[in-house]
Chains A and B, each alone.
Chain A
Amino acid sequence: MTVIEAGTVHPVSGPEIKNGVVVIRGERILAVGQQGELELPPNTKVYKFPNGHIYPGLIDASTDAFADAGLRSDGSLNGGSKIADGLMWTDSRDDHLIEHGITTAYISIRAGSQLRGQGAIVRPRASGFDLWEDREQAALQLLMTKGPGASHALQRQSQLEAIGRLFDGLDKFREAKEKYEEELEKYETDFEKYLEYHAKKNGKDKEKGKPNGDKAKKEESKKPAEAKPKADGSEPAGRRRGGRRGEGRPPRGGGAQEMSAETFEKTLATIMALLGKPKTETPTTGSQDPKPQGRSGDRATATPTRSPTKSGGDKAKKGEGPKRPKYPKKPRPDPQKEALLKVLDGELPLRIEAHRVDELLAALRLQRDKEIPVVVLERAYGADRVTRKIAAQGATVVLTDVLPNSLGVPGDKRNPYSKFDPTALPKKLNDEGIPFAIASGTARLASLLPMMAAAAIGRGLSEDAALRAITLTPAEILGIAKDTGSLTREKFADVIVTDVPLFASDSRVLLVVAKGRTEYEAK
């Protein structure tokens, strides 16, 4: 058990506590209260900061930490790309988020492509990071801006409308996918019936003492070894019978298009059970690759129907009994469409980077037209003009660049972004009740995350709202608020201690505890 005592505790979920204490057991918070209220067991590790301030671990809702230069400039990212796969610890200044009190971060890449992959939630550590379980693919990134360069509004509009076409063809894809799943189910049922029929027949043959099974075995042993499926359920390499180049390969995304190893094993077990043989033995009739893939499966279906007939052992005429069902044709795998379907189903939030008012309106129109349940607007500099629409549609906002004049000198006519004031925006969003997070935007500015919130305070935002914008609200936007974002019992023990209030320019992080582990301690 670990106990942290400090002059002031800022739980975010409740009012601040003078002479407060946070009790940690394992990786969760056990209690938050006032010193002396709680009885501590012996052998408790106690950190004492009589003048310090305890806050929940900070959450950076948008950063590019743990991404190397290659990944940051990767223009080939698409909706199917998983950013988590490309992250690495380089020990550079940009990767030391934990020293700045950031215990959770959402990583995305600002590459030039429209769909920029699926961002990941990570937990920075003293020398590395952990991917947040089940949040390796936390949101789909969409770029809906032309940036500060000169462009005509109508030209931008037509380009923005073109983005909507990314969602075209999804219905057909979904239909094909659903049809395939239905057919696969039917195939499995029919195949079971088919096997059952032949098993019964084989049983009769056995009873009659006819050596049909042995013959079949012999035939089977003549078949090439590569026809057997691999243990992982995928098709053997190089097998592309009757298919186009690459069709025989397993899809990268995996999923329902293909019979998994587990399903295959189950089917095999069923076959064996029906045949009354142990699983390890080569099946007599069911060995014709119960897991044919794509077009290659079409040809595989022909053999077993012939086999019993050719064997001559059974006297059943052609066409008698159920025919071996054909393996359904699977739709071509498309991870991007898969991701977009998840977005439409609300399983994956869509994070849209849109800056100007017209871009934001286009983003909101996209949400409305496509009925996208969860939309997060990123870098929404012009959001103050469309606050009501954002609130009406239930979108949330992740703000970056919340530093004085970070977008240029006010009044600079050559810079269309100079009119935006990111420091004033948080108050306006807060007044309209729009949930917003303040994020660094880039790992290089991670140390300034509290200063960004402070800059918003300087423009009228309350301290409580500013603290929420870098703790609980980003946790809510990222869908992890049940585990982090505030000092609440049962949440992860993500706790930081500072020497003076967090929003002071000279505030120093003294201690960082993440999931109950001490990750950073100032010397």
Chain B
Amino acid sequence: MQILMKRRTTGALLFTALCTAHLCPTQLSAQDVLVQASKIVVAYGEGSTAATVLTDSALLLRDGKIAFVGADIPAEARRAARVVDYGKATISPGFVLAATTLGRDADLAEGALAFTPDLRAAEAFDPWQKELAQLATAGVTSFGLAPSPRNVAGGIGALAKAGKKQGRIETAEAFVGFSLTRAARSQERMPTSLMGALEMLRDSFKTARVGVQVGPDLAVLRQVMSGQRRALIHADTFAELNGALDLAKNFNFAPVIIGARDADKVMAKLAERGVGVVLAPLNPKARIADLELPKKLAKAGVPFCFAGRPDQLRFSAALAVRYGLDRNVANAALTRTPANLIGALTTVGSLRQGCGADFVVFEGDLLDLGSRHVATWVDGENLHGESPAGAKTSQTTNSAGGR
């Protein structure tokens, strides 16, 4: 075990170096870009908070980030920027997919061991994998690359993004993934039952709490208990949810539950303990109770978002709206809430100054399927969609009094 851990640590260091050298190229842009539209949603509010919306405004993109928003854009920068005008369309923050293995489930699970909290999902990230190309088409601009739910403690998830040619890791260590679902139990290794899985986690957390010198695996658990790192726990059934919530209560951390099929049975506990939920995509043929779960979670004040296939995000949110969810909450569930749940709110999920220039452009409200998806931008680059008609690619002479 010690040898394994050493190897892991060495691997991690090597990875960090590689990441710095190759996978995280600085997105330098020779010129600022001024993106204009009749409506820009800077950030969707969570809960009862209203969204921050600008009318006939603009964003100034610099080096892949939002440099200035609306009236804050300096006149000089405005004049020097390349202008992209989306006219009557609406610009919103790009969708954040809270947890996905992006089709690489096998590479994100250690089959022989159930407890590997210090493994890094980022190490299995392939920046050229073809699934990345589908993200922008679906409006997804960043995603949590999560360990597979096949391990009780799967490892450390990363925040990643698609790119023009290749994807990249934005944050290599964003959250820790656990699982209590059936997938984590195996007859070929321990644990074989839910009881065993819970006991394994309890023992580990206890050791991490009392131990003086702990290995990298237990160190990760310490980070969870201290609130440094978010814990995302896969749990679907009532027993799994209850187990996860008790574990979190005993070791004093607020988890995020992934799946939560039976969330309505533990709704009060979820709300009381400030637990977030990452829901599986909604199936239009599902029971009415399942389709109304987002509405119930919102009513109870439980923050939630959607996960699953990238192309299912928007449709799930639209379906939730069809079944009574408030539009503002649904929009937040695609952007701000998932960013918050994986601890990446400062970098993605909104269009505030300093955040990544990740946004989507729709003709109309993106929750209406009749609204056309015009474009997706990631890190200040147009990855999907057309160049708007009348876009100016040269310097503009607009005065500061404009947008």
Contacts and interface: CB of A to CB of B under 8 A. Distances in A.
Is A bound to B? yes
Interface stretch (B143-151, B239-247, B310-318, B342-350): B310-318
B315 A411 contact: no
Contacts of B285: 442, 444-445
A505 B324 CA distance: 10
Given A448-B284, A506-B322, A506-B327, A455 B312 contact: no
Interface in B321-351: 321-322, 327
Contacts of B315: 403-405
Contacts of A444: 284-285
Contacts of A191: none
Contacts of A405: 309, 311-312, 315
A403 B311 contact: no
B373 interface: yes
A6 interface: no
A410 B134 contact: yes
B370 A463 contact: yes
Given A410-B134, A445-B284, A404 B369 contact: yes
B322 A505 contact: yes
B31 interface: no
Given A404-B311, A405-B312, A411-B134, A506 B321 contact: yes
Interface in A399-413: 403-405, 409-411
B288 A505 contact: no
A93 B288 contact: yes
B130 interface: yes
A410 B370 contact: no
B6 interface: no
A18 to B, nearest CB: 20
B137, B321, B370 — which one has the most chain A CB atoms within 10 A of its CB? B370
A505 B312 contact: no
B130 A448 contact: no
B132 to A, nearest CB: 12
A457 B370 contact: yes
Contacts of B134: 409-411
A460 B374 CA distance: 11
A442 B285 CA distance: 9
Interface string A469-504: 000000000000000000000000000000000011
A139 to B, nearest CB: 25
A454 B370 contact: yes
B368 A454 contact: yes
B372 interface: yes
Given A404-B314, A405-B311, A410-B134, A455 B284 contact: no
Nearest to A442: B285
Interface in A360-419: 403-405, 409-411
Nearest to A409: B309
Interface in B276-309: 284-285, 288, 309
A89 B318 CA distance: 30
B119 interface: no
B60 interface: no
A483 to B, nearest CB: 29
A272 interface: no
B311 A505 contact: no
A458 interface: yes
Nearest to B291: A447
A218 to B, nearest CB: 74
Contact of B368 (A410, A447, A504): A504
A457 B364 CA distance: 12
Given A411-B134, A445-B285, A506-B322, A458 B311 contact: no
B272 to A, nearest CB: 29
Given A458-B371, A505-B322, A505-B367, A409 B284 contact: no
B370 A448 contact: no
A451 interface: yes
Nearest to B327: A506
A451 B321 CA distance: 11
Nearest to A445: B284
Contacts of B321: 505-506
B311, B318, B321, B372 — which one has the most chain A CB atoms within 10 A of its CB? B318
Contacts of A503: 368-370
Given A410-B311, A451-B322, A458 B367 contact: no
B322 A403 contact: no
A458 B370 contact: yes
Interface residues of A, number: 26
B318 A451 contact: yes
A410 B133 CA distance: 11
Interface in B109-145: 130, 134, 137
Nearest to B316: A404
A505 B318 contact: yes
Contact of B369 (A409, A410, A458, A460): A458
A447, A459, A504 — which one has the most chain B CB atoms within 10 A of its CB? A504
A404, A444, A463, A505 — which one has the most chain B CB atoms within 10 A of its CB? A505
Given A411-B130, A506-B321, A458 B373 contact: yes
Contacts of A466: 370
Interface string A428-468: 00000000000000101101100101110111100100100
A504 B364 CA distance: 10
Nearest to A451: B369
A93 B137 CA distance: 34
A411 B284 CA distance: 22
Interface in B373-399: 373
A447 B322 CA distance: 9
Nearest to A448: B284
B313 to A, nearest CB: 10
A385 to B, nearest CB: 22
A444 B290 CA distance: 14
B311 A409 contact: yes
A423 to B, nearest CB: 8
Interface in A59-85: none
B314 A455 contact: no
Contacts of A451: 318, 322, 369
Given A403-B315, A410-B311, A447-B322, A458 B372 contact: yes
Contacts of B372: 457-460
Contact of B322 (A93, A448, A459, A460): A448
B183 to A, nearest CB: 20
A455 B371 CA distance: 8
Contacts of A411: 130, 134
Contacts of B284: 403, 444-445, 448
A195 to B, nearest CB: 66
24 contacts: A404-B312, A404-B314, A404-B315, A405-B311, A409-B309, A409-B311, A411-B130, A411-B134, A444-B285, A445-B284, A445-B285, A451-B322, A454-B369, A455-B370, A457-B369, A458-B372, A458-B373, A463-B370, A503-B368, A503-B370, A505-B368, A505-B369, A506-B321, A506-B322
Interface of B: 130, 134, 137, 284-285, 288, 309, 311-312, 314-315, 318-319, 321-322, 327, 365, 367-373
Closest 7 CB pairs of A and B: A457-B370, A454-B370, A454-B369, A455-B369, A505-B321, A505-B318, A503-B370
Given A93-B288, A411-B134, A454-B370, 8 more contacts: A403-B315, A405-B309, A405-B311, A409-B134, A410-B311, A454-B368, A457-B370, A458-B370
Interface of A: 93, 403-405, 409-411, 442, 444-445, 447-448, 451, 453-455, 457-460, 463, 466, 503-506
